[in-house]
């Protein structure tokens, strides 16, 4: 099977790495990709938001499966265009991707499906905003209704800051604050059958100890030794299946990756948000543990035949990923800095540690130098018998990488490893 992956971050590198290890994959293409993905896939240039262009590229390559990684092309309807061209596509339709594209839509689906989530108001006027902020009290949670690349949510004790964010966004969802640890649980679905993957935890804040601004994610680990072993079954029953059933009932079935961002509160599991695609950096650790070949799983979702698949197989290993980010991330990042040490990791830690690329590219000349090209630059991933070993290996690999001005958290999975 020839496979085309759309996107170019560490998530797509993780997907491409797994696909490259799947014997069913005879050719692997990625657009636009990055300097690391270039080692496992042939790269192409395409406007990822242009469905017709993506479908044309897939047809030209003879792709038997297209996987759309990021949310923006999904919300723009790229998966629809690929399917209309008769090519199987992993990723929800434009209509179903509204589950991520509009927080208000997601709340409406959850209400229809009886899925537990924070109580909320959708507000468009300053009066509505004030009323909602008053009703819930501090800490205030204010969310831009639309896609905001992880920057649309403000959680604050400062009512003025909450009000300012709400007025700057226009249409917002204001909701009850959820206490308790967060868990990301992904499920592969064909619109009927729902196959949950293993839970992971993401570190959203820039600095150690969960300090500093929100980011796209600074690291992740899986499994979660502290979580209730029944968590996955419970979320399958109370969140994932009802949501998929509700979207099917509405005539907009969701096929692809359903990402449930959950809070394990003192009053039970609540959905913080849904995403319509694999999460980054959680994908890096979840796929590190998946033993079932990836292409067959995603193709079954695209073709509506997930019910026929045998249960997924998982490694008992733990996995940890640590993100190396550019100077000044999550503000405007500095780019163009050379990255050194990539070959050291490949030679000294393999196969237990490896570097997945996010914002990287080859320098313009022929030197083979890889330079930073985005906020999150690398996602250094390692597996081990337990979290402590995976952590040790990941940080040993991080220490071999040199990127001027770069930053990373030093406490990814630390608490979970200590408690395990």
In the list 2, 177, 231, 389, the residue contacting ligand AMP (rule: CB under 6 A) is 177
Q: Which part of the chain contacts ligand GLY (CB under 6 A), choosing from 33-41, 227-235, 275-283, 330-338?
A: 275-283
Sites for ligand GLY among residues 170-229 (CB under 6 A) = 202, 217
144 binds ligand GLY (CB under 6 A): no
Distance CA 86, CA 294 (A): 21
Tokens in use for 65?
């499966």
Sites for ligand AMP among residues 271-310 (CB under 6 A) = 272-273
Q: Which residue has 């992971």 as its token pair?
A: 200
Count, residues near ligand AMP per rule CB under 6 A: 14
> Which of the choices ligand GLY, ligand AMP, none does residue 190 contact, using the CB cut-off of 5 to 8 A by kind?
none
Give the number of C-alpha atoms closer than 13 A to the C-alpha of residue 335, restricted to the C-beta side.
17
Asked if 249 and 185 count as a contact pair (C-beta separation under 8 A), the reply is no
Query: Given the complex with ligand AMP, which of 153 and 288 has the nearer CB atom?
Result: 153
In the list 201, 275, 383, 406, the residue contacting ligand GLY (rule: CB under 6 A) is 275
349 binds ligand GLY (CB under 6 A): no
69 binds ligand GLY (CB under 6 A): no
Q: Which of 46, 48, 51, 45 is nearest to 84 (CA)?
A: 51
Query: Given the complex with ligand GLY, which of 14 and 345 has the nearer CB atom?
Result: 14
What's the min distance (Å) between Cβ of 323 and ligand AMP? Answer: 15
Asked if 322 and 401 count as a contact pair (C-beta separation under 8 A), the reply is no
CA 162 to chain centre: 26
Distance CA 389, CA 89 (A): 37
In the list 7, 64, 91, 279, the residue contacting ligand GLY (rule: CB under 6 A) is 279
282 binds ligand GLY (CB under 6 A): yes
> Which of the choices ligand AMP, ligand GLY, none does residue 178 contact, using the CB cut-off of 5 to 8 A by kind?
ligand AMP
> Which of the choices ligand AMP, ligand GLY, none does residue 17 contact, using the CB cut-off of 5 to 8 A by kind?
none
> Which of the choices ligand GLY, ligand AMP, none does residue 349 contact, using the CB cut-off of 5 to 8 A by kind?
none
Q: Which part of the chain contacts ligand AMP (CB under 6 A), choosing from 149-157, 164-172, 277-285, 392-400?
A: 149-157
Q: Which part of the chain contacts ligand GLY (CB under 6 A), choosing from 55-63, 278-286, 388-396, 402-410?
A: 278-286
8 binds ligand GLY (CB under 6 A): no
Distance CA 132, CA 343 (A): 53
What's the min distance (Å) between Cβ of 202 and ligand GLY? Answer: 4
100 binds ligand GLY (CB under 6 A): no
**Residue number, nearest CB to ligand GLY:** 279
Angle between helices 10-20 and 282-289 in degrees, nearest 10? 10
Asked if 213 and 205 count as a contact pair (C-beta separation under 8 A), the reply is yes
Distance CA 420, CA 415 (A): 9
Q: Which residue has 């990822």 as its token pair?
A: 48
Cα–Cα distance list, 384 to 1, 155, 342 (Å): 31, 35, 20
In the list 55, 58, 122, 141, the residue contacting ligand AMP (rule: CB under 6 A) is 141
118 binds ligand AMP (CB under 6 A): yes
Q: What is the full DSSP assignment across 37-88? A: GGGTSEE----TT-HHHHHHHHHHHT-SEEEE-SHHHHHTTHHHHHHHTT--
Contacts for 204-210 with beta carbons within 8 Å, 24 or more apart?
A: 204/150, 206/325, 206/329, 206/330, 206/407, 206/409, 207/409, 208/409, 208/410, 208/411, 209/411
> Which of the choices ligand AMP, ligand GLY, none does residue 73 contact, using the CB cut-off of 5 to 8 A by kind?
none
What's the min distance (Å) between Cβ of 204 and ligand AMP? Answer: 5
**Contact set with ligand AMP (CB under 6 A):** 118, 141, 143, 150, 153, 155, 175, 177-178, 182, 204, 261, 272-273
Residues of this chain that bind ligand GLY (CB under 6 A): 150, 202, 217, 275, 279-280, 282
């Amino acid at each position: 099977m020839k496979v085309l992956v759309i996107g170019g971050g560490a998530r797509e590198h993780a997907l491409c790495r797994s696909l490259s290890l799947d014997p069913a994959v005879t050719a692997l293409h990625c657009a636009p990709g990055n300097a690391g993905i270039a080692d496992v896939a042939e790269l192409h240039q395409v406007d990822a938001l242009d469905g017709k262009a993506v479908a044309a590229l897939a047809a030209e390559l003879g792709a038997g499966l297209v996987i759309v990684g990021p949310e923006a092309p999904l919300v723009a309807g790229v998966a629809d265009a690929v399917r209309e061209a008769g090519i199987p596509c992993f990723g929800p339709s434009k209509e179903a991707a509204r589950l991520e594209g509009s927080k208000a839509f997601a709340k409406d689906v959850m209400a229809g499906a009886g899925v537990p989530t924070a109580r909320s108001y959708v507000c468009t006027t300053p009066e509505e905003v004030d009323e909602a902020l008053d009703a819930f009290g501090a800490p205030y949670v204010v969310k831009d209704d639309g896609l905001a690349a992880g920057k649309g949510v403000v959680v604050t004790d400062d009512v003025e800051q909450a009000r300012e964010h709400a007025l700057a966004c226009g249409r917002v969802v204001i909701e009850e604050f959820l206490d308790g640890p967060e868990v990301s649980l992904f499920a592969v679905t064909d619109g009927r059958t729902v196959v949950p993957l293993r839970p992971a935890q993401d570190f959203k804040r820039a600095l150690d100890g969960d300090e500093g601004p929100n980011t796209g994610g600074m690291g992740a680990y899986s499994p979660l030794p502290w979580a209730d072993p029944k968590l996955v079954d419970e979320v399958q029953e109370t969140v994932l299946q009802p949501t998929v059933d509700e979207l099917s009932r509405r005539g907009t079935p969701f096929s692809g990756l359903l990402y449930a961002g959950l809070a394990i509160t003192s009053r039970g599991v609540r959905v913080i948000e849904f995403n319509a695609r694999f999460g980054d950096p959680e994908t890096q650790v979840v796929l590190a543990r998946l033993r079932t070949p990836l292409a067959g799983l995603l193709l079954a979702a695209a073709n509506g035949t997930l019910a026929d698949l045998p249960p997924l197989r998982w490694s008992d290993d733990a996995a940890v990923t640590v993100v190396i980010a550019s100077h000044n991330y999550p503000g405007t990042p500095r780019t163009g800095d050379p990255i050194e040490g990539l070959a050291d990791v490949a030679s000294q830690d393999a196969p237990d540690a490896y570097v997945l690329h996010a914002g990287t590219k080859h320098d313009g000349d022929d030197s083979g130098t890889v330079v930073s090209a985005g906020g999150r630059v690398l996602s250094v991933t390692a597996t081990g018998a337990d979290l402590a070993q995976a952590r040790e290996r990941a940080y040993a690999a991080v220490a071999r990488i040199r990127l001027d001005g770069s930053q990373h958290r030093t406490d990814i999975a630390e608490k979970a490893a200590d408690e395990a």
